[in-house]
């Protein structure tokens, strides 16, 4: 074997492993992910997120996990930020990138994010003393990065440069700086200093910035999108990633798991466009999965309608036989507990109605004894069901976003404007994924006909007895919807 062939063989091995500790591999593309809770991941990881992860999609943990080491490339199995975080846009960003890039290209992500972090706390010049007055949960998040997320991102990015080439930065932040015009300048400072510290040319790396939950989707911080829209005027390399039509999980701040997947695909589409790929393959469908209708199972915590109190606030009425609740003006009815109950062993609260709500209905969950303290507020937005994730449940305080202490729940119930009846079917806490039944098996007579997704990618040759993920597919020239 001559020297040239031997060099090619060695290079191929390094590409396959995506780990070259001694020299940059131009076929190993690295993306830095930075921000607050929506980049950290605030939706539970589901089975679809753990299946069929491409071998060419890697992650470098920025903290130590129980089974992963900081600074060491590994499989991109969620969660990608820290051990107890959730699904992020980075998950389906990486999947979509490798689907559209040549087989010799590997994609790696590094995710440093802190729930509730204002842009100032992601800055290089953060004074750790300013964290002393923050809540304990937030200080604990920051300690994971030695009280300097910027320094940790830089540390890992420099380590990553030994293996590959940094190709882009994904940012999702703004909820803690909602509507602040100075935000663009602060983002530019971080961007400019990060490139300089990494030895990269100014404005040489695309900065992809995701929108917050839009106001029309019930987002509390939708007004910040008008600020984000101005960022490309300040940073020429910046591109805005739309959150249009993406549902939020009910707290007005965070996206659903489905929305995180779609948002990640949109980040990838924006990045691929900078590479000249304007018609990419996007296998995950933006079609909203079917609304589930789950039933409680053995071991679930049932909120008994017979003990429903319609007058926790204002004079309401309730019929525990029909489940009809009529609240007083700005009324609240539900269940109160003293001492509090522990729901930390459950993943979801499911609140289902017999008819869609009509008067601003919210599910509220209190981790304090006072009714006047802030609670989780999940909006139904006209839907007959609300599925609230207990793991990662947040409340929107005047001082910022804070987690709900699900081990001490004093009150669960329904708030609304009052007057119109609310038709309550059931409320329960569960560990069973309510969305699992949203995937249906489709019976097709001619199973020999090839099925494609809307991007033209082949899904299967033979669908006999197969189950398809939610989406829209092409079969014999017809569209079939799986929801």
Task: Please give the positions annotated as active site.
Answer: 37, 251, 254
Choose among 376, 346, 348: nearest CA to 364: 376
Gap between the Cα atoms of 253 and 219, Å rounded: 6
DSSP 8-state symbol, 248: B
**What's the rounded Cα separation, in Å, for the pair 209 and 49?**
22
Q: Residue 157 in contact with residue 169, Cβ under 8 Å?
A: no
Rounded-to-integer distance, Cα 286 and Cα 471, Å: 7
Q: Which tokens go with 106?
A: 């590997």
CA 160/CA 87 separation, integer angstroms? 22
Nearest 5°: the CA angle 207, 117, 379 is 95
Distance of alpha carbon 214 from alpha carbon 195, whole angstroms: 30
What burial letters (b/e) apply to 30-56, b meaning 16+ CB within 10 Å? Answer: bbbbbbbbbbbbbbbbbebbeeebbeb
- CA angle 394/397/401 to nearest 5° reads 45
237 and 208 Cβ atoms separated by less than 8 Å: no
238 three-class SS: strand
């Amino acid at each position: 074997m001559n020297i040239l062939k031997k060099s090619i063989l060695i290079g191929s091995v390094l590409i396959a492993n995506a780990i070259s500790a001694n020299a940059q591999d131009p076929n190993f593309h690295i993306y830095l992910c930075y921000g607050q809770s929506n980049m950290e991941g605030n939706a539970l990881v589901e089975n679809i997120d753990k299946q069929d992860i491409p071998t060419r999609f890697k992650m470098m943990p920025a903290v130590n996990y129980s089974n992963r080491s900081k600074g060491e490339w590994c499989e991109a199995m969620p969660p990608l930020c820290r051990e107890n975080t959730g699904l992020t846009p980075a998950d389906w960003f990486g999947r979509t990138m490798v689907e559209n890039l040549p087989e010799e290209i590997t994609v790696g992500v590094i995710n440093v994010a802190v729930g509730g972090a204002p842009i100032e706390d992601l800055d290089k010049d953060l004074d750790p003393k300013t964290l002393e007055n923050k809540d304990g949960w937030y200080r604990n998040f920051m300690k994971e990065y030695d009280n300097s997320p910027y320094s940790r991102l830089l540390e890992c990015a420099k380590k990553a440069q030994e293996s590959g080439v940094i190709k882009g930065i994904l940012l999702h932040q703004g909820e803690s700086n909602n509507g602040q015009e100075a935000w663009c300048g602060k983002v530019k400072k971080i961007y400019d200093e990060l490139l300089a510290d990494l030895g990269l040319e100014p404005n040489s790396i695309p900065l992809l910035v995701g929108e917050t939950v839009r106001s029309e989707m019930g987002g509390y911080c939708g007004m910040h999108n008008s600020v984000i829209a101005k960022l490309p005027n300040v940073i020429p390399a910046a591109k805005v990633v739309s959150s249009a039509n993406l549902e939020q999980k009910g707290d007005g701040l965070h996206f659903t798991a489905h929305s995180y997947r779609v948002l990640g695909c949109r980040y990838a589409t924006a990045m691929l466009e900078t590479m000249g790929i304007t018609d990419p393959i996007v296998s995950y469908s933006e079609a909203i999965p079917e609304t589930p209708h789950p039933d409680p199972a053995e071991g679930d915590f049932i909120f008994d309608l017979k003990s429903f109190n319609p007058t926790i606030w204002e004079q309401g009425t309730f019929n525990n036989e029909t489940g009809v609740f009529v609240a007083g003006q700005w009324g609240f009815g539900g269940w109160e507990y003293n001492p509090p109950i522990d729901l930390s062993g459950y993943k979801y609260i499911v609140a289902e109605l017999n008819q869609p709500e009509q008067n601003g209905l919210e599910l509220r969950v209190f981790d304090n004894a006072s009714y006047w303290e802030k609670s989780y507020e999940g909006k139904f937005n006209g839907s007959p069901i609300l599925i609230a994730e207990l793991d990662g449940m947040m409340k929107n305080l005047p001082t910022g976003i804070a987690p709900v202490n699900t081990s001490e729940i004093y009150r669960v119930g329904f708030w609304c404007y009052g007057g119109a009846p609310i038709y309550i079917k059931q409320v329960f806490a569960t560990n069973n994924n309510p969305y699992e039944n949203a995937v249906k098996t489709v019976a097709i007579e001619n199973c020999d006909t090839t099925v494609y997704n809307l991007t033209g990618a082949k899904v299967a040759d033979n669908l006999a007895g197969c189950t398809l993920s939610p989406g829209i597919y092409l079969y014999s020239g017809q569209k079939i919807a799986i929801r």
